[in-house]
Amino acid sequence: MSSDFFQNFQNIEEEKTKPIKRKFWKLRVIIALITLGFFFVIIRLFFIQVIDSDKYKDKVKRYHLDQDSIRAYRGKIYDRNGNLLASNIISISIAINPSSIRDSADSAKLFSILIKYTGLDSNTIIEKINTKERSFLWVKRGLTPNQLPGFDTIRCRGLIKIEEPKRYYLYGELCSQIIGFTDIDNNGLEGLEKSYDSILRGRNGFIIRNKSSTGEMFPTTNLPPIYAINGKSIVLSIDIDLQRIVESEIARGVMQYQANAGVVIALEPSSGEILAMASYPSFHPDISSERVSERTRNRAITDIFEPGSTFKLIPLSALLDLKIKSTDDYFDGHKGLLDYGQYQIRDEHPLGNIPLSEAVKFSSNIIFSTIATMIPSEKLYGYAKNFGFGSLLGIDLPGEVSGKLRRFGEQDITSWRFFGFGYGLSATCLQIVSAYSAIANNGYLLKPHIVKQILDEKDLITREIKPDTIRRVINSETVQMITKLLIGVVEEGTGKEAKINGLNIAGKTGTSQQYASSKYSKEHYNASFVGYFPAENPKVVMLVLLDKPTKAIYGGATAAPIFSNIVRRWIVTKYKQLAVKECIFNPLTTIKTPSFIGMTYEDAERVAKAFNLKILTNDETKNSLVYSQEPQPDKIISTGSLVNLKLRDRNSYYEANEDFTALQKIDVRGLPLRKALIILHSKGIKAKIIGKGKVVDQNWFINNKQLECELKCAINP
């Protein structure tokens, strides 16, 4: 009994201790987990503080520090006389930080500010404000302080104001295809802005700022700013006053002869410097809708064409330089018609057996087709190549093309004959004018260039571009013979319309059919004239080209008069620089009114004297330019007549006249678009174009205190 008692007692004690043992087991597990967690935290802290410390320091900096860009100012662009063509102005750009907006009151205030100052629609603004995950969003860029009255005093959570340099083109549309333009970030996209972008752009800097929990920025003294390095400036060989004359005359010429487009290039033969280069139609660099290839491309270097008779210079040079024939030798003109096989070659002027001088004077295709066959094909190809055809000349503008020049076999007599008068190859206007420049430069072909100097921030010269001789193409004796022949073209031949009494001009006309749809068109032509003056000591070589003129098709009847108009204006306004004597103009009792647009009072007075006219002006100050005249250019008037001129300050020349009422009387409805643009631009009025064809309606409006005209056009109104 006693043993049973003790056994039962032992069992009872064991039953009592079982729950206690189970409780201690759970406690041990909890203690173990806590210990492991503690060790894990210690290890993790060790990695954060020691192993990965650099990574986490960078994270902290990114959350509490931010980088602001310090924008570099783009270099300036000057013309050869120091006139500023492109500069920078301070623009205001508006951005927002949606992540810093705390409540609906902040959103409402920001919304009202953006609606007032940006001109964006409400849905766009609401969408930007509600993009809470973003800390930076552009709203509107490139605004001027005049567009944001009172904006500098506004404070609002989430609103970011940024001052940025913005490109400013002082002459607007003038010289735009040469200078080009930039994007909103001041990167060069076209023209010299593109080809010299690395020089003009400079280098942006930055400053590190502390960022508060609300997104506000404060300067930090620990990290010094990296200052921006502004871009270098460039000085062009362009004379902006001559460029203005060229652009106005080619625009008038395109309208007068109802052409599709026009090109003028003028260069200095002794240096290769481009004095003026214009293509029409052109564009305004600040009007994005005009930035289309038809307007922005520089046709002088990008467009190719079969040159026609202006190319006769090459076989003529080879013939005389190789002494195959002399200027006194006679050639058969076949009475204006040459048949061989299935082909015919015709001359506009039927000629018989005549000396070489007459063949050049009257531009005989028949005789030059014969001359081509007298020259070994490789020799003729070599002369064309040496004169720069089929190769890039290396001008410092983007977009230059090489044209096409191919070799002809000795048996390819047909192509060879046509090659003699400018068919079977393609060339740019730059190649044509450079070839004639080689003649004007005593037989030396120079590399054309448009930048003269590169300047540092203090406008000190860091680099000067010197004349670069490519090669000698013909000898001096041949040059003299060719110049004499080309003077005859202007004095008595196909280039008589380029003649100016008292000034020796050597030149050549060109007319070529355009090739399209596998055949030569009988409707579409290129008309050109190229010449240099004074012929005895050439200072300027110039080419004028019209694409698809319809009122007249021959270069002598279209391009030559434009050449003459440009030269007349040049020599009466710049005759001292061009080293030519004052010339005798129209001795007639009636004349066409010259264009005074863009001239200073001094130049206008000189032109009026040359044409025996009187002028009445509203401003005789030195810095003013003519923006309006009455009678209009090309009106027939009597010598001694009075011409009324209106001038305004040079700096505001391309801004609209404050007398808006008078200007709004201008009516261009019913006119072809190009003619309407000429009229408006001559008055300093910008145009907004809707559609194509003739102007069917016009609407006037004021934009930034400037008068503009909206032109609605239709092809078949």
Q: What confidence category does residue 480 fall into, taking pLDDT thresholds of 50, 70 and 90?
A: very high
Tens digits of residue pLDDT in 11-43: 555 555 555 555 566 677 777 777 777 777 777
Q: Give Cβ neighbours of residue 215 (< 8 Å, ≥ 6 apart).
A: 97, 99, 100, 135, 157, 158
Q: Strands 614-617 and 642-649, how do they pair?
A: parallel
Position 49 in a domain = no
241 class by beta-carbon count within 10 Å (0-12 exposed, 13-18 middle, 19+ buried): buried
Same domain, 439 and 569: yes
Q: What is the C-alpha to C-alpha distance for residues 709 and 322, in angstroms, rounded to an integer?
A: 60
Stretch 379-398: mean pLDDT, rounded?
Answer: 96
Of the residues 553, 584, 615, which one is the last residue of a structural domain? 584
CATH classification of the domain holding 298: 3.40.710.10
Tell me, what's the pLDDT at 12? 53
Within-domain flag for 12: no
| Cβ-based burial of 592 (10 A; exposed 0-12, middle 13-18, buried ≥19) | middle
Given this model, what pLDDT does residue 702 score? 67
Look up residue 40 and give its two tokens: 């894990």
Residue type at position 446: L
Q: Answer yes or no: is pLDDT of 294 > 70.
A: yes
Measured over the CA atoms of residue 672, residue 673, residue 674 and residue 675, the dihedral's sign is positive
- Domain assignment present for 590: no
Q: Residue 180, by phi and psi: left (phi above 0), alpha (psi -120 to 50) or beta?
A: left
Under 8 Å between Cβ of 507 and 530: yes
Domains contained in the chain, number:
2
Q: Does 622 score more than 70 pLDDT?
A: no
* Mean of pLDDT values over 148-164: 85
CB 503 within 8 A of CB 532: no
Q: Which of 236, 268, 285 is the last residue of a domain?
A: 236
Q: What is the pTM of this model?
A: 0.75
Contact 621, 601 (CB under 8 A): yes
335/450 same-domain check: yes
Q: In which band, very low, low, confident or very high, does the pLDDT at 103 lie, cut at 50, 70 and 90?
A: confident
Residue 606 phi/psi, 5-degree rounding, is -65, -40
Q: Is residue 382 part of a domain?
A: yes
Q: Is the peptide bond before 281 cis (omega within 30 degrees of 0)?
A: yes
Whole-number Å distance between alpha carbons of 57 and 51? 12
Residue 114 domain flag: yes
232 and 256, same domain (yes or no): no
Of the residues 584, 613, 635, which one is the last residue of a structural domain?
584
Quick one: CA dihedral 163, 169, 172, 178, positive or negative? negative
Contact 454, 463 (CB under 8 A): yes
427 and 442 in a single domain? The answer is yes
**Residue 315 and residue 174 share a domain:** no
For the residues of 646-692, what is the DSSP string, one character each? Answer: EEEEGGGTTSPPS-HHHHTT---TTSBHHHHHHHHHHTT-EEEEESS
Domain span holding position 364: 240-584
Q: List pLDDT tens digits, range 497-513.
A: 999 988 999 999 999 99
Whether 666 maps to a domain, the answer reads no
Reply yes or no on whether the pLDDT at 319 is more than 80. yes
Residues 547, 479 share a domain: yes
